[in-house]
Amino acid sequence: MCLQTGQKVQERAEMPIDISRANFSLAQHCFFFDLDGTLAPIVDDPSTVAIPDDFKPALARLYSQTGGAVAILTGRGLSDALTILDPLPLPVVGSHGLEYDARLGGSGDQSSAQAALKEVLAPLQAFAAAKDLKLECKPGAIALHYRHAPEHAVAAQRTIDNVASFASGLRALHGKMVSEVTVASVDKGTALTTLMSRTEFAGRVPVMVGDDVTDEDGFSAAQSWGGCGIKIGSGETCAKYRAETMAEFHHWLAKLVAEGK
Ligand SMILES: O=P(O)(O)OC[C@H]1O[C@H](O[C@H]2O[C@H](CO)[C@@H](O)[C@H](O)[C@H]2O)[C@H](O)[C@@H](O)[C@@H]1O
């Protein structure tokens, strides 16, 4: 593994290669996408996020041209992500690898994760109320947002680290202007590996695309399967490729499906 999410990212020995030099095939590769910052631009209010209308046809075509070898791996709750994706047919693993879409086999029993999250809810609610921060409660994670109040970033991170350390089975995860407690046994890498045994993905080479530290487990897993990660934006990464901006990635993907190879 080249890194752990929530900790310092260890950069690969080589610098990421520009995405324009990546050569993928719709017949041989399968595709895993992060949502916020990858399919949809980052916005101040998480509830108003949207995938650009002019990018949706490329995603729909990718799904059909690969025979369904596409999935979204997101930190968002599953039902929230499905609402954002609607009417696209793309299946989702939500809550940082905990919640599997029924089309991907479903999740099974999540009661122990929910019990652990319930234990840490009260102190997080108290902290969020005291600092006027937004608390996002998901089936498999609780997120503390400080984009609108960056002066509370350090205190929010410490609070999340603290509650994660006393609850069994949880861990702290620090993303873009958000700190979360999530389930320790899963991440985007475990999700990608689980999906690789499904018929839609088996035998294909995985490509994982994301913009945040929380996507590094996915990059690492894809690369351990002989595939690659594509990091959007700046920052240390173990991904093999980089797109400078989300718009550059959207343009690249639209070209890939238009060529249809
Ligand atoms: O794994 P992702 O699909 O990238 O989800 C990560 C988190 O995304 C959302 O928060 C982020 O996006 C918001 C909207 O652009 C932004 O306001 C916030 O600052 C970002 O951290 C989402 O709300 C979280 O639940 C996800 O874990």
Hey, whose CA ends up nearest to atom 27 of ligand 1?
75
Phi, psi of 206 (to 5 degrees): -80, 140
pLDDT band with cut points at 50, 70 and 90 for residue 190: very high
pLDDT mean over 97-101? 97
Q: Which atom in ligand 1 lies closest to the alpha carbon of residue 175?
A: 21
Hey, whose CA ends up nearest to atom 25 of ligand 1?
76
Q: Name the least confident of 3-12, 42-51, 204-213.
A: 3-12
pLDDT at 19 over 90: yes
Annotation says 161 is catalytic: no
Counting Cβ atoms within 10 Å, is residue 198 exposed (0-12), middle (13-18) or buried (19+)? Answer: middle
pLDDT at 201 over 90: yes
106 Cα–ligand 1 center, Å: 23
What integer pLDDT is reported at residue 211 of this predicted model? 98
Q: Name the least confident of 8-17, 19-28, 160-169.
A: 8-17
pLDDT at 2 over 90: no
* CATH classification for the domain delimited by 19-106+186-259, as one of 1.20.1060.10, 3.30.420.10, 3.40.50.1000, 1.10.260.40: 3.40.50.1000
CA atoms lying within 13 Å on the CB side of residue 135: 20
Length of the chain: 261
C-alpha to C-alpha distance for 114 and 108, rounded to whole angstroms: 13
What integer pLDDT is reported at residue 109 of this predicted model? 86
Give the architecture-level CATH label for domain 111-183.
2-Layer Sandwich (3.30)
pLDDT mean over 89-108? 96
What integer pLDDT is reported at residue 9 of this predicted model? 53
pLDDT at 4 over 50: no
Pocket of ligand 1 (CB under 6 A): 34-37, 42-44, 46, 49, 74-76, 136, 143, 145, 147, 175-178, 212, 214
pLDDT at 250 over 80: yes
C-alpha to C-alpha distance for 201 and 206, rounded to whole angstroms: 8
pLDDT at 199 over 50: yes
pLDDT band with cut points at 50, 70 and 90 for residue 54: very high
pLDDT at 110 over 60: yes
pLDDT at 6 over 60: no
C-alpha to C-alpha distance for 68 and 96, rounded to whole angstroms: 21
C-alpha to C-alpha distance for 190 and 76, rounded to whole angstroms: 16
State which of 178, 230, 246 you would mutate to test the pocket of ligand 1, scoring each by most atoms of that ligand within 8 A of its C-beta: 178
pLDDT mean over 235-251? 97
185 Cα–ligand 1 center, Å: 21
pLDDT mean over 157-172? 95
pLDDT mean over 59-69? 98
Find all residues with CB under 8 Å of 205, minimum gap 6, and list them.
28, 29, 30, 225, 226, 227
Q: Which of 18, 34, 86, 211 is catalytic?
A: 34
Find all residues with CB under 8 Å of 260, minimum gap 6, and list them.
26, 65
pLDDT band with cut points at 50, 70 and 90 for residue 14: confident
Q: Following DSSP, what letter does each residue of 70-124 receive, concatenated?
A: EEEE-SS-HHHHHHHHTTS---EEEGGGTEE-GGGT-----HHHHHHHHHHHHHH
C-alpha to C-alpha distance for 48 and 50, rounded to whole angstroms: 7
Domain residue ranges of the chain, discontinuous segments joined by +: 19-106+186-259, 111-183
pLDDT band with cut points at 50, 70 and 90 for residue 216: very high
What integer pLDDT is reported at residue 108 of this predicted model? 83
pLDDT band with cut points at 50, 70 and 90 for residue 5: very low
Higher pLDDT, 110 or 221: 221
Strands 29-33, 205-210: pairing kind: parallel
pLDDT at 91 over 60: yes
Q: Which atom in ligand 1 lies closest to the alpha carbon of residue 177?
A: 19
